[in-house]
């Protein structure tokens, strides 16, 4: 500040969630005073042993996660959450900035190499999984380096790259997205998840077997998600009369599994999907394959708001989902969803679990036969 000659600069504290403390001291302790506007007007620098007025300084800190920031330090900050780029935003950034930049840096021109939208989308979806575009730029550079080698060695190649050539340069596909598909087996529901790299769909699988009334939970679930599963089973057990069920839960084990067991999962937003999967399992009614859902549940049957709505809806759209069931309290988040996505999907808001069940489970077809006639051949009647 002495060098620039002003007392009101902007300080950028990058990666503040990586703060460390050891025998040399705890930088968080100094930051408690620095970032507090009520006392940083007389900040004492222990190196110079003089007081200095920091009240005119604007401090901006960045972090990838809030969990590792000391609570007292976080309390002195105003948190602004910046969502990751959508697929469409990454595509535009690559077309307008990343690709031209890398072509120039590698000594090529647009006559020697060009990317179409399909090629860039292939790199985004199959070779990167991130909230930003850092790895996307690296993969684009890898492709351009491969082309530069061919140019330097006068080898034949196709200047206009297609997805097949992308695989030749980058190797086998690295990441696979879950694709929504209609399941023929009751007990499977499609949920939505938020991750730092964006949204994704996940499948909640439920099965039952003879046992001693245990609830088995697998899939690398966190404590909050396990509590949601217990709450979902408790709600189903208290509402069995609504579905004309009479299972003996004391002689039944229920198993809930969320695939991709190597990936840790947590949060309350899978509660609705868990209840739908359990009701589907016990009633034998399949879950609609074109429907995904998210929402926290209560034992009273209410559906509560959750976060990451924009990322979740975009993930459902990528997976071919046509209807998304959302908590009614998340209507405010619709302003963040692109208009093109809203027009292409049916976004339905619910307040109660019963509403979500009506929108997600396939309807039961009852066939009424005459006194002298049996059911039509090939028709299954469900009561």
User: Does the pLDDT at position 32 exceed 90?
Assistant: no
Select from 230, 202, 237, 204 the least CA-distant residue to 216: 230
Whether 373 is a known active-site residue: answer no
**139-156, pLDDT tens digit by residue?**
999 999 999 999 999 988
Greatest Cα pair distance, the chain, in angstroms, is 102
pLDDT of residue 118: 93
pLDDT of residue 31: 86
Confidence of residue 197 (pLDDT cuts 50, 70, 90): low
Confidence of residue 181 (pLDDT cuts 50, 70, 90): low
Q: Which CATH architecture describes the domain 87-170?
A: Orthogonal Bundle (1.10)
pLDDT of residue 111: 87
**57-107, pLDDT tens digit by residue?**
899 999 888 888 888 889 988 999 887 787 888 999 999 999 999 999 999
User: Does the pLDDT at position 196 exceed 80?
Assistant: no
Quick one: CA dihedral 115, 120, 126, 131, positive or negative?
A: positive
Indicate the Cα dihedral angle 222, 226, 228, 229, nearest 10°.
Answer: 140
Confidence of residue 375 (pLDDT cuts 50, 70, 90): very low
Confidence of residue 194 (pLDDT cuts 50, 70, 90): confident
Cα(337)–Cα(309) distance, integer angstroms: 8
Q: Spell out the domain ranges in the chain.
A: 10-74, 87-170, 188-360
Cα(222)–Cα(202) distance, integer angstroms: 15
Of 119, 228, 269, 280, the catalytic one is 269
pLDDT of residue 177: 66
* Mean pLDDT in residue range 196-215: 87
Please report, for the chain, how many H helices and E strands are present, in that order.
12, 15
**78-88, pLDDT tens digit by residue?**
999 887 787 88
Q: Which CATH architecture describes the domain 188-360?
A: 2-Layer Sandwich (3.30)
Whether 332 is a known active-site residue: answer no
Six token digits for residue 22: 């050891």
Asked if 324 and 346 count as a contact pair (C-beta separation under 8 A), the reply is: yes
* Mean pLDDT in residue range 326-347: 90
Quick one: CA dihedral 154, 160, 162, 166, positive or negative?
A: positive
Task: Specify the range with the lowest mean pLDDT, choosing from 106-115, 189-198, 219-228, 286-295.
Answer: 189-198
CATH of domain 10-74: 3.40.50.300
* Mean pLDDT in residue range 29-52: 79
DSSP secondary structure letters along 247-301: --GGGEEEEEE-S-TTS-B--STTHHHHHHHHHHHHH-PPBPTTEEE--EE-TTS
Of 90, 265, 310, 312, the catalytic one is 312
H or E, element range at 194: strand 188-195
User: Does the pLDDT at position 183 exceed 60?
Assistant: yes
Q: In sequence order, what are the residues at sequence separation of 6 or more whose Cβ sits closer than 8 angstroms to the Cβ of residue 269?
A: 191, 192, 193, 194, 294, 295, 296, 306, 307, 308
pLDDT of residue 369: 43
Three-class SS state of 252: strand
């Amino acid at each position: 500040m002495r060098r620039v000659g002003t007392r009101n600069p902007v300080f950028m504290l990058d990666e503040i969630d990586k703060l460390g403390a050891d025998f040399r001291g705890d930088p968080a302790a100094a930051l408690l005073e620095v970032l507090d506007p009520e006392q940083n007007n007389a900040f004492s620098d222990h190196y110079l042993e003089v007081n200095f007025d920091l009240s005119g300084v604007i401090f901006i800190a960045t972090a990838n996660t809030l969990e590792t920031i000391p609570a007292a330090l976080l309390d002195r900050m105003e948190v602004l959450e910046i969502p990751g780029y959508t697929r469409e935003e990454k595509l535009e950034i690559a077309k307008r900035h990343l690709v031209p930049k890398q072509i120039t840096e590698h000594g090529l021109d647009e006559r020697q190499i060009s990317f179409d939208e399909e090629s860039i989308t292939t790199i985004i979806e199959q070779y990167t999984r991130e909230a930003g575009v850092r790895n996307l730029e690296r993969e684009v550079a890898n492709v351009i380096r491969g082309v530069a080698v061919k140019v330097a060695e006068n080898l034949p190649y196709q200047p206009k790259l297609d997805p097949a050539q992308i695989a030749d340069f980058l190797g086998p596909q690295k990441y696979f997205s879950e694709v929504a598909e209609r399941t023929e087996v009751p007990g499977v529901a499609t949920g939505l998840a938020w991750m730092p790299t964006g949204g994704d769909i996940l499948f909640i699988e439920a099965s039952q077997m003879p046992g001693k009334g245990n609830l088995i939970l697998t899939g690398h679930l966190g404590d909050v998600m396990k509590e949601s599963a217990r709450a979902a089973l408790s709600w189903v057990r208290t509402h069995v009369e609504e579905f004309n069920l009479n299972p003996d839960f004391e002689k039944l084990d229920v198993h809930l599994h969320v695939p991709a067991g190597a990936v840790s999962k947590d949060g309350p937003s899978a509660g609705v999907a868990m209840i739908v999967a359990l009701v589907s399992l016990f009633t034998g009614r399949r879950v609609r394959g074109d429907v995904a859902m998210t929402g926290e549940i209560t034992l009273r049957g209410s559906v509560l708001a959750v976060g990451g709505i924009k990322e979740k809806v975009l993930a459902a759209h990528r997976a071919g989902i046509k209807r998304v069931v959302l908590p009614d309290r998340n209507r405010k988040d619709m302003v963040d969803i692109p208009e093109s996505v809203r027009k292409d999907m049916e976004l339905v808001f619910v307040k109660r679990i019963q509403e979500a069940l009506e929108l997600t489970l396939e309807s039961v077809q009852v066939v009424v036969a005459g006194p002298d006639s049996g059911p039509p051949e090939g028709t299954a009647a469900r009561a």
